[in-house]
Amino acid sequence: MLDSIKDFASEFFVTGDPLILGAQVSIAIAMVAILFVLSYFKKWGWLWREWLTTVDHKKIGIMYIICSILMLFRGGVDALLMRLQLAMPEMQFLEAEHYNQIFTTHGVIMILFMAMPLMFGLFNIVVPLQIGARDVAYPFLNALSFWLFFWGAMLFNVSFVIGGSPDAGWLAYPPLSGLTHSPGVGQNFYIWGIQISGIGSLATGINFIVTILKMRAPGMTLMKMPMFTWSVFSSCIIIIFAFPILTVTLALLFLDRFLGTHFFTLDAGGNPMMYINLIWMWGHPEVYIVVLPAFGIFSEIAATFSKKKLFGYKSMVFAMISISVFSFFTWAHHFFTMGSGADVNAFFAVTTMAIAIPTGVKVFNWLFTMFRGRITFTTPMMWMIAFIPCFVIGGMTGVLLSVAPADFQFHNSYFLIAHFHQVLIGGVAFGYFAGLYYWWPKMFGFKLNEHLGKWAFWFWNIGFYVCFMPQYVLGLDGMTRRMYTYDFDMGWGPLNLVSTIGGFMMGIGFIFQVWQIAYSIKKNQKDVTGDPWNGRTLEWSIPSPAPLYNFATLPQVEAVDDWWEKKQKREQGIAPPPAPPLEPIHMPKNSGIPFIKSLLWFFVGFGFVWGWLWMAIPALIGVGICMLVRQFSYDTDYYIPVSEVQKAEAQARGAAL
Amino acid sequence: MKSRKKVRRFIVPLLFVSILVLLSGCSESIRVLDPKGPIGESQKDLILISSLLCAIILVPVLALTAFIVYRYRDKPGNKAAYKPNWSHSTLMETIWWGIPVVIITILAIVTVKGTYDLEPSKPLDSEKKPLVIQATSLDWKWLFKYPEQGIATVNYIEIPEDVPIRFELTSDAPMNSFWIPELGGQMYTMSGMAMKLHLQADEPGEYYGSGANFSGEHFADMKFTVRATSEAEFNKWVESVKQTSPALTEEGYQQLAKPGKADVQYFSSFPEGLFERIVTKYVVEGDEGHAGHRQMTTEESPSSEPEQPKSDMSHEHAGH
């Protein structure tokens, strides 16, 4: 009996690695500490009422952002472990298998559990405020999306202490990810973690398309929408076409592993190429999903901090939409070297480089937004400015990669690694950081410390170039991605060491950001204006943090930068039209179902990971019950009475005075 | 404070310049930029041409960025024009759309031409008859067979210089990618397919080769040396391998194919039709097989194969 428990535990928990043991101990300590603090301060009820059951888009956005910062930490630690292992030739720091697990989880976490939630967090906080809405179109679905993401991410993250991490690469090509070559549970964690959170992402895409199309304030035609909202819209269009492909692909891979079907195995007529095509039909559009909102953020920031209208609004919109369409015609450039033949390669080479055209136009438009403006160097603006050279260089190396016959020399090398980190860090991460700094006062009612922010900025930026520029050279020198060690005589040692130093500089940048947040919370220099940056769009017209109902009366929109125009008019002494009388505000009620249902999905996933139908099937039934309960809940909304709105507004104004 | 700001303003452009210097300074020792064969040479030219085309946009944009950020900074007494509502200019936007369109069109033409010229399955122009080497990626080693010479090696290739080499690539393990940076770009190795890659070494020397696509735990150990020598030396090497090395038997291959690392090995012979059997391993009766399969060499007649566990499949397939 004891022996069988021991056997089970040794399979269930990952043992034998001191690094992982340390992680296990710290996870246990952290959990005990959290439970203790919540109990000691009697915060369980508060946690449940205010956060776990909330359907308020602003709170959901904040939860997304907290999660993504935690995931940035974990993915960043993974990155630094890898860089340590590669710092010198023939390093003995990590075993081959452990290294493989780390780069796999690094990729998955950074794209799906860091970039995506940070993006969704900004969607949630900004879009309703920017379009003058009181909530998203489907608040309940929004909460469900968040909790699906959360529990999917948790499922993926427990793999490294329970059962073992996946190690077949972040896109898990079969046959390597099939049962024969990856017999452990790690690959199952991969499938279910991504599957559960991916369904949440799809729902978010639908939610925001409807929100943007149906919930805009009166007068805000499509061509008067702020550019960030446009970018969210184009990103969501890609989401609703790309994520179903991911869902199906992972489902088929799971069937291969669990039921022994042969979709992606060569024996019995399957084909791994099918998987590679499918996963990149999702995977390539995915990078545009995350980068388009960053473009939107930069457009807002460039205009605000140059005190000037965005240059070429129509071009920007057209460029964004054409990128979202074109993103679906480039996936085969990920396997130019699989012998598709010259016709296919030529086609995908040209479609890939064509994306550089609208992207290039956007860069020119940002430059001309700053041209003849008045640029102030706040932290968001500094990230915006640093983004331009970084993204332009990254984009250029992308164009080089799209030259199919030359790609034969770049593919799978560190040149490629340097390229995509440059566009993903220089574009996406810089963009979301800028957005976070920019909208932070709107979320929490206080600004982040600029001084510490600039330290973070310089460490990140210089660290970035020190880390990734050597990798371009290493790639051209024949160093391939995912190798856990290399020989002394390859001559790759010095550049790798430099790259590792750069990686740690970015790590220091991250520490500065955490310090900055902690310091600013402690200082809490309240933003009493609601408009600390002298903003241009509607979210700056209301108090910070935004009241529960966002807008006491819905704004009447007349121009692209409506809030800016109204401020200009007021300065010229033109009085704003009298506000219409307040009315009771229709709001959705909180619900525990999204949290409970997603937690049940976690158990469904966990059950299938281990092949425990006794866990998966009851949990699935529980999911069904949740759906039924929701189906028959009629008491899902309420009205905020005028008296309460008046009170809240007076309070906000009081704070402003 | 003021001087520190100035320093900062120049750090970023300075970094780019240093990168460019770094890149150009290293070009003599960087494998891809110092190729030793015609394919690698053409690919290097393409890399340089496309870099140059990109630089036509890159350099002015970087300069313009630095200029605009400096010129229009919000500073008391800045005399530069300020036009807060200026947001459209048809002329300028036409130019902004026009420049990338022109550059990308030129690049697309260059690319399409290069794609057809450098299609890896296309034989090289040469008076000499190509040498065939069949490469199989295994877990975690490379098996190379010389069907005409009748020898095989593990993790080592010897080739004669100035002779076109026709690599035939397949895999008996998760897919990998066959890459010798100094000779030319890579090609995937995949089960059930035989891909072709033509390369040639112009001068004698030792070149680094590796598996470029992740294929599991010890994929980083899938590297091999390519030695290019004179034809006479190559023939001598073949003879010595024939004289001094053991034969690769069917059982020997089964052992070799098992997951694990391997050192360099030489074999004086190998089971006939082994490569074809690996490629056709998964062909189901009545199936046409995969596209790559039809391109296979037929130098070896399947009917002359000794009876082997999997050979019934290839017999059947040959009968289609």
Q: DSSP state, B189?
A: E
pLDDT, residue B295, reads: 43
What's the pLDDT tens digit per position in A171-199?
A: 999 999 999 999 999 999 999 999 999 99
For residue A644 the two structure tokens come to: 């309460």
Contact yes or no for A406 and B40 at CB 8 A: no
> Where residue B16 falls among pLDDT bands split at 50, 70, 90?
low
What is the pLDDT of chain B when averaged over all its residues?
85
Chain A's closest residue to B189, CA to CA, is A338
Percent of chain B predicted with pLDDT > 70: 80
**B64 to each of A299, A310, A417, B72, how far by Cα in Å?**
18, 18, 28, 12
pLDDT surpasses 70 at B213: yes
Please state, in angstroms and rounded to a whole number, the distance separating the CA atoms of residues A412 and B128: 32
- Mean pLDDT over A283-291 rounds to 96
- Mean pLDDT over B165-175 rounds to 96
Distance to chain A for B188, nearest Cα, Å: 5
Contact yes or no for A472 and B214 at CB 8 A: no
Helix (H, G, I), strand (E, B) or coil at B151: strand
- Mean pLDDT over B91-106 rounds to 93
Report which secondary-structure segment, H or E, holds A379: helix A379-402
> Where residue A20 falls among pLDDT bands split at 50, 70, 90?
confident
- Mean pLDDT over B128-143 rounds to 96
pLDDT, residue B18, reads: 63
- Mean pLDDT over A84-104 rounds to 94
The residue type of A287 is V
What is the pLDDT of chain A when averaged over all its residues?
94
pLDDT, residue A292, reads: 97
pLDDT, residue B23, reads: 56
pLDDT surpasses 90 at A655: no
**A567 to each of A57, A562, A581, how far by Cα in Å?**
27, 9, 22
Long-range contacts of A258-262 (CB under 8 A, 24+ apart): A258/A188, A258/A608, A258/A611, A260/A179
Residues of B in contact with A480 (CB under 8 A): 179, 210-212
pLDDT, residue A580, reads: 87
What's the pLDDT tens digit per position in B109-132?
A: 999 999 999 999 999 999 999 999
The closest alpha carbon to A294, from A351, A352, A366, belongs to A366
Percent of chain A predicted with pLDDT > 90: 89
The closest alpha carbon to A222, from A291, A320, A302, A116, belongs to A320
pLDDT, residue B298, reads: 39
User: A224 or B20: which carries more pLDDT confidence?
Assistant: A224
Among the ranges given (A205-214, A332-341, B309-318), the one the predictor scored with the smallest mean pLDDT: B309-318
Contact yes or no for A272 and B42 at CB 8 A: no
* Residue A456 CB neighbours (<10 A): 27
Strand partners, B137: B142, B171
Contact yes or no for B82 and A374 at CB 8 A: yes
Please state, in angstroms and rounded to a whole number, the distance separating the CA atoms of residues B77 and B70: 14
Starting at the earlier edge strand, list the strands of the sheet with B176-180: B156-160, B223-229, B205-211, B176-180, B184-189
Nearest to A360 among B47, B100, B196 (CB): B100
The closest alpha carbon to A96, from B53, B236, B83, B219, belongs to B219
Contact yes or no for B218 and A462 at CB 8 A: no
pLDDT surpasses 80 at A132: yes
Please state, in angstroms and rounded to a whole number, the distance separating the CA atoms of residues A480 and B213: 8
Distance to chain A for B294, nearest Cα, Å: 13
The closest alpha carbon to A345, from B130, B106, B111, belongs to B111
- Mean pLDDT over A118-140 rounds to 96
Please state, in angstroms and rounded to a whole number, the distance separating the CA atoms of residues B138 and B221: 11
Contact yes or no for B11 and A462 at CB 8 A: yes
Q: Taking a contact as any Cβ pair under 8 Å apart, which residues of chain A between 321 and 360 contact chain B?
A: 335, 337-339, 341-342, 345-346, 349-350, 353-354, 356-357, 360
Distance to chain A for B243, nearest Cα, Å: 32
pLDDT, residue A1, reads: 78
Q: Taking a contact as any Cβ pair under 8 Å apart, which residues of chain A between 579 and 598 contact chain B?
A: none
The residue type of A311 is F
Residues of B in contact with A301 (CB under 8 A): none
pLDDT surpasses 60 at A602: yes
pLDDT, residue B318, reads: 35
**A503 to each of A379, A413, A433, A464, A471, how far by Cα in Å?**
21, 18, 18, 7, 12
ipTM for the predicted complex comes to 0.92
Distance to chain A for B224, nearest Cα, Å: 12
Distance to chain A for B127, nearest Cα, Å: 24
The answer to whether the beta carbons of residues A125 and A443 sit under 8 Å apart is yes
Nearest to A403 among B16, B114, B117 (CB): B114
Contact yes or no for A404 and B114 at CB 8 A: yes
For an interface test with A, give the residue of B9, B92, B96 to mutate (most A CBs within 10 A).
Answer: B96
Please state, in angstroms and rounded to a whole number, the distance separating the CA atoms of residues A419 and A318: 26
For residue A626 the two structure tokens come to: 């949740």
Q: A400 at the B interface (CB within 8 A)?
A: yes
| Maximum alpha-carbon separation in chain B | 91
Nearest to B72 among A168, A373, A476 (CB): A373
The answer to whether the beta carbons of residues A292 and A320 sit under 8 Å apart is yes
**A227 to each of A223, A232, B216, how far by Cα in Å?**
9, 9, 44
pLDDT, residue A334, reads: 95
Helix (H, G, I), strand (E, B) or coil at A177: coil
Contact yes or no for B104 and A354 at CB 8 A: yes
- How many residues are there in chain B? 320
Highest mean pLDDT among A25-34, A320-329, A524-533, B309-318: A320-329
Nearest to A357 among B100, B112, B116 (CB): B100
The closest alpha carbon to A350, from B199, B57, B116, B186, belongs to B116
Contact yes or no for A404 and B115 at CB 8 A: yes
* Residue B67 CB neighbours (<10 A): 13
The answer to whether the beta carbons of residues A270 and A276 sit under 8 Å apart is no
For an interface test with B, give the residue of A355, A483, A536, A568 to mutate (most B CBs within 10 A).
Answer: A483
Contact yes or no for A367 and B65 at CB 8 A: yes
Please state, in angstroms and rounded to a whole number, the distance separating the CA atoms of residues A208 and A130: 13
Q: Taking a contact as any Cβ pair under 8 Å apart, which residues of chain A between 131 and 190 contact chain B?
A: 167-169, 173, 175-176, 181
Residue with tokens 């470029």: B212
What's the pLDDT tens digit per position in B245-295?
A: 999 999 999 999 999 999 999 999 999 999 999 999 888 665 554 444 444
C-alpha angle B120-A333-A416 in degrees, rounded to nearest 5: 95
What's the pLDDT tens digit per position in B287-313?
A: 554 444 444 443 433 333 333 333 333
How many Cα atoms are found within 13 Å in the side-chain-facing hemisphere of A572?
7
Please state, in angstroms and rounded to a whole number, the distance separating the CA atoms of residues A276 and A334: 9
The answer to whether the beta carbons of residues B152 and B267 sit under 8 Å apart is yes
